């Protein structure tokens, strides 16, 4: 081997080593930054075992618009029950979410729909489960789509890239299945401002926006949540306003189905 060839190979090897070290340093710096962001966000989570939330809900689709009063009960990581009423103390519907199933009690039609979360996916074209719903209601991180929903530190750090400006940190990921996640973080309080989820392959979109966080004892719990899901020309809009929140109160999570109700198993 000539001296020239030897020097050439040595130069290439040196360049590769420098490039590898530089990339490792950049990856390490990115991981540290994302870990700090993750810890800052989760530090603001509301600390609770149970939540009782009084709310008003505005629902809109292409052919329907409804305004309802509601009560949301949450037993952390276990069960969520939502009661909806048009007013005058008359319950129109009651919905129960558990880890692996959901029940929708329709008082007006005297029927109950029961099944797993495939019902939501097929009906509203949104692939979410219990953990995602709990995270949305309490303004916590979740990754879409993910079997367990909750974003752990490792999954979060390994999934996202950081795009920042003066007022907002934007966290972005794109999966092999062409699903984009964009999470906007308020840099002042490290609260989640919005999610933008774009399922390119299936032409689905899910936008979630949070406003007016409580802070103090209620952590990053929002006072207003706006949810818009769309596929092709169909859409569903939900505007949720929290009017009163009570935490760690002993709550009744009973869910009785009248015997004369028609059962629809999904």
Residue 212 lies in a domain: yes
Distance CA(172)–CA(91), nearest Å, equals 41
pLDDT tier at 9, thresholds 50, 70, 90: low
**CB-facing half-sphere around the CA of 95: CA atoms within 13 A:** 16
Residue 148 lies in a domain: yes
- Provide the pLDDT for residue 23: 41
Residue 7 lies in a domain: no
- Provide the pLDDT for residue 225: 96
What confidence tens digit (pLDDT) does each residue in 194-232 have? 999 999 988 889 999 999 887 678 888 999 999 999 988
Number of domains in the chain: 1
- pLDDT above 90 (res 169): no
Query: 3-state class of 21 per DSSP?
Result: helix
List beta partners, residue 213.
222
Residue 76 lies in a domain: yes
Question: Do residues 209 and 194 make contact, with C-beta atoms less than 8 angstroms apart?
Answer: yes
Distance CA(139)–CA(218), nearest Å, equals 11
Distance CA(253)–CA(72), nearest Å, equals 11
**In 3D, which of 60, 251, 225 has the Cα closest to residue 134?**
225
Handedness of CA 145, 151, 154, 157 (dihedral sign): positive
Residue 27 lies in a domain: no
What confidence tens digit (pLDDT) does each residue in 35-82 have? 888 898 899 899 999 999 999 999 998 888 999 999 999 999 999 999
Distance CA(94)–CA(103), nearest Å, equals 8
What confidence tens digit (pLDDT) does each residue in 91-127 have? 999 999 999 999 999 999 999 999 999 988 888 778 8
Residue 156 lies in a domain: yes
Average pLDDT, the chain: 84
Beta strand 262-265 with 111-115: parallel, antiparallel or unpaired?
parallel
Query: 3-state class of 50 per DSSP?
Result: strand
225 phi, psi to nearest 5 deg? -130, 130
Residue 21 lies in a domain: no
Residue 28 lies in a domain: no
- Provide the pLDDT for residue 20: 42
Q: What is the CATH number of the domain that holds 189?
A: 2.50.20.10
Query: 3-state class of 136 per DSSP?
Result: helix
Structural domain including 171 reads 50-265
Distance CA(60)–CA(57), nearest Å, equals 10
- pLDDT above 50 (res 137): yes
- Provide the pLDDT for residue 2: 57
């Amino acid at each position: 081997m000539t001296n020239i060839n030897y020097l050439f190979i040595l130069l290439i090897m040196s360049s590769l080593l420098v490039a590898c070290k530089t990339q490792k340093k950049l990856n390490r710096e990115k991981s540290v930054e994302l870990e700090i962001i993750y810890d800052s966000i989760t530090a603001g989570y509301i600390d609770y075992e149970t939540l009782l939330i009084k709310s008003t809900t505005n629902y809109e689709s292409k052919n329907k618009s409804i305004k309802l009063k509601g009560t949301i009960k949450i037993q952390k990581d276990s069960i969520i029950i939502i009661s909806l009423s048009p007013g005058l103390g008359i319950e129109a519907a009651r919905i129960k979410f558990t880890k692996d199933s959901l029940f929708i009690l329709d008082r007006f039609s005297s029927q109950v729909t029961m099944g797993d979360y495939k019902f939501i996916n097929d009906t509203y074209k949104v692939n979410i489960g219990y953990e995602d719903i709990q995270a949305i209601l309490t303004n916590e991180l979740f990754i879409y789509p993910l079997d367990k929903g909750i974003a752990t530190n490792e999954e979060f750090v390994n999934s996202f890239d950081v795009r920042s400006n003066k007022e907002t940190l934007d966290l972005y990921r794109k999966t092999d299945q062409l699903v984009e996640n964009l999470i906007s973080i308020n840099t002042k309080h490290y609260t989640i401002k919005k999610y933008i989820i774009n399922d390119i392959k299936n032409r689905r979109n899910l936008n979630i926006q949070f406003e007016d966080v409580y802070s103090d004892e209620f952590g990053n719990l929002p006072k207003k949540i706006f949810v818009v899901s769309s596929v092709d020309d169909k859409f569903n809009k939900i505007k949720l306003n929290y009017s009163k929140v009570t935490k760690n109160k002993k709550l009744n999570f009973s869910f009785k189905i009248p015997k004369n109700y028609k059962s629809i198993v999904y």
